[in-house]
Chain A
Amino acid sequence: DIEMTQSPSSLSAFVGDRVTITCRPSESISRYLSWYQQKAGRAPKLLIYGASSLHSGVPSRFSGSASGTGFNLTISSLQSEDFATYYCQQTYRFPRTFGQGTKVEIK
């Protein structure tokens, strides 16, 4: 199975901060990488697919990129509604594995 390692596991930030979350797959996945946001008690929501394509309706402060051996999710200016847990996922091969999640909290 392809293992997805996210870092950090959690972070604290102020509203307005620029935040970056990293996801590293255990092997090459091309750009079959998606990012999801999950708020407590709610289903996950798709943010980014194909490593860098913004899903319809997602604010432009969210962006995805590929760099070196990993992938990044960046929130350019953190808003109060962005405090949540974020997951990466590979869809290159079955099983479609998720990262362990990154919890973004208010500082």
Chain B
Amino acid sequence: QVQLVQSGPEVKKPGASVKVSCKASGYTFTTSGISWVRQAPGQGLEWMGMINSYNHNAKYAQKLQGRVTLTIDTSTSTAYMELRSLSSDDTAVYYCARDFMGSGWYYFDYWGQGTLVIVSS
């Protein structure tokens, strides 16, 4: 069965960086992309970016461009999201999701359990 397992919670100081991992299993990793979505406390879902697991090409939300980097380690079927220059506005739960194409449509069919990142001095 498809599973995405994320790394544990993080507490960071303003200005620091955080790197969250997302280990995939149960499918051929290079056949689907991985998107990252975050959710600030009490807020909605915000798409951050997507990385193609085959060619490692990435797309980013303009709001985060320059601060976020998505990478892939195909040898371990793991995706990474690094966010730099953290501020309190980056306090959120961060999710990875399989960005799947089926029957001609794109959708997020499996999600990680979420990683809480708290930014506080």
Interface residues of A (CB under 8 A from B): 1, 31-32, 34, 36, 38, 43-46, 49-50, 53, 55, 87, 89, 91, 94-101
Contacts and interface: CB of A to CB of B under 8 A. Distances in A.
A50 B109 contact: no
A78 B89 CA distance: 36
B47 A50 contact: no
A15 B32 CA distance: 38
Contacts, number: 68
B109 A46 contact: yes
Contacts of A89: 45, 47, 107-108
Contact of A98 (B44, B50, B104, B106): B44
A94 B58 CA distance: 11
Interface string B72-110: 000000000000000000000001010100111111110
7 tightest A-B CB contacts, nearest first = A91-B106, A49-B107, A50-B105, A43-B111, A98-B45, A34-B107, A101-B44
Contact of B59 (A36, A95, A97): A95
Interface of B: 35, 37, 44-47, 50, 59, 61-62, 95, 97, 99, 102-109, 111-114
Contacts of A91: 105-107
A41 B35 CA distance: 20
A98 B109 contact: no
Given A43-B112, A45-B111, A96-B50, A31 B44 contact: no
Contact of A95 (B44, B61, B95, B107): B61
A87 B107 CA distance: 13
B15 to A, nearest CB: 26
Nearest to A35: B107
B59 A46 contact: no
Nearest to B59: A94
Contacts of B99: 96
A68 B97 CA distance: 30
Given A43-B114, A49-B102, A53-B103, A98 B46 contact: yes
